[in-house]
Amino acid sequence: MVSAVLAASDGVKQVICISWGTKYGAPFINRLYAMVKRNITPPFTFTCFTDNRGDLNPEIVCEDLPPLDVENMPVRTKGIWPKGRLWGPKLGNLSGPVLFLDLDLVIVGSLDSFFEVGGPNDVILSRNQTTPFERLGQTSLFRFPVGKLVPLQEKFRADPQGVADKYQFEQRFVTRNAPGGAKFFPRRWVLHFRQDCRWPFPLNYFLTPRLPADARVILFPRDFHPQFAVEGRFGLKGRAAPPLDHIRHMFDPERRRNRPLFRYLRHYIRPTPWVADHWRE
């Protein structure tokens, strides 16, 4: 039996992503498409809204970036506000519910259930695990009907800097202002690598980050790319090193980059092969 969500899109699971500039590009888009294809039951479409179609898998449906019509985008903000392009009245030739995925997440289980929860007119976000005491969604993965978020785009366009200053992150803006209110996917479906997979100190030196059995998607926010987990690097400036080498350098200010000692010790992960198993074309 086709769910009401799928019935609103003629039985097709519609997955979308967005890419602009040079930070990610074709390798990330192609990997994401390959992960979707392995973890979804057809029929489905995968549409990328992008300013560069070079080297993309020919099976990917490419569309130009939707207009946003904001002359001065916010500055000094943590939010990824260009995602506001997705809040417009049209998204290429798509209509009905679409599932948005960030380019740097890792799919580890079936996506089918994301098209079964709620109704076709609902805005449903993954839970934001970094603020457990705030009812906050995560727009690294969320589902919405095309055109439903137009009021958000209009509000943002009227005062981009003011909106960014008030909400800081675009996901907080979406959560607080989604027409009809925001709903959430089950907490354990979408997990945060640092919070839900890596072990706390001192177990992080002995155990490989875990993959919970009920996870479907793993998020890698704030410039912590999946490749860093594969290599055993904690972040952009981290270094892959055996556990004893990392501990040996805890009194070296240069290697610690002046971080407090306990923070330095916590910021260690062992290489994580299961990330590489999933994060591939």
Q: What is the pLDDT of residue 38?
A: 98
pTM above 0.85, yes or no: yes
Question: Of 3.40.50.620, 3.90.550.10, 3.40.50.920, 1.10.10.10, which CATH number belongs to 1-185?
Answer: 3.90.550.10
90-103 pLDDT tens trace: 999 999 999 999 99
Q: What is the pLDDT of residue 263?
A: 84
Phi-psi category of 76—alpha, beta or left, where left has phi over 0 and alpha has psi -120 to 50?
Answer: left
Average pLDDT score, the chain: 93
Q: What is the pLDDT of residue 1?
A: 61
Q: What is the pLDDT of residue 129?
A: 80
Cα 134–chain centre separation = 19
The per-residue DSSP string of the chain comes to ---HHHHTTTT-EEEEEEE-SSSS-HHHHHHHHHHHHHTSPSSEEEEEEES--TT--TTSEEEEPPP---SS---S-SS-GGGGGGGSS-BTTB-SEEEEE-TT-EE-S--GGGGTSS-TT-EEEEE-TT-TTS--EEEEEEEEETTTTHHHHHHHHH-HHHHHHHHSSHHHHHHHH-TT-EEE--GGGEEEIIIIISPPTTGGGTSPPP--TT-SEEE--TT--HHHHHHT--STT-----HHHHHHTTT-HHHHTT--HHHHHHS-----HHHHHHS--
243-278 pLDDT tens trace: 888 888 788 877 777 778 888 888 899 999 999 999
Q: Where are the domains of the chain?
A: 1-185, 190-278
Low-confidence winner among 53-67, 182-196, 252-266 (lowest mean pLDDT): 252-266
Q: What is the pLDDT of residue 198?
A: 94
Q: What is the pLDDT of residue 127?
A: 93
142-173 pLDDT tens trace: 999 999 999 999 999 999 999 999 999 999 99
Whether the pLDDT of residue 236 is over 70: the answer is no
Average pLDDT over residues 22-48: 97
Average pLDDT over residues 213-238: 87
Q: What is the pLDDT of residue 237?
A: 66
More confident residue, 267 or 201: 201
Share of the chain above pLDDT 90, in %: 78
Could you tell me which of 79, 10, 90 has the C-alpha nearest to residue 47?
A: 90
100-131 pLDDT tens trace: 999 999 999 999 999 999 999 999 999 998 87
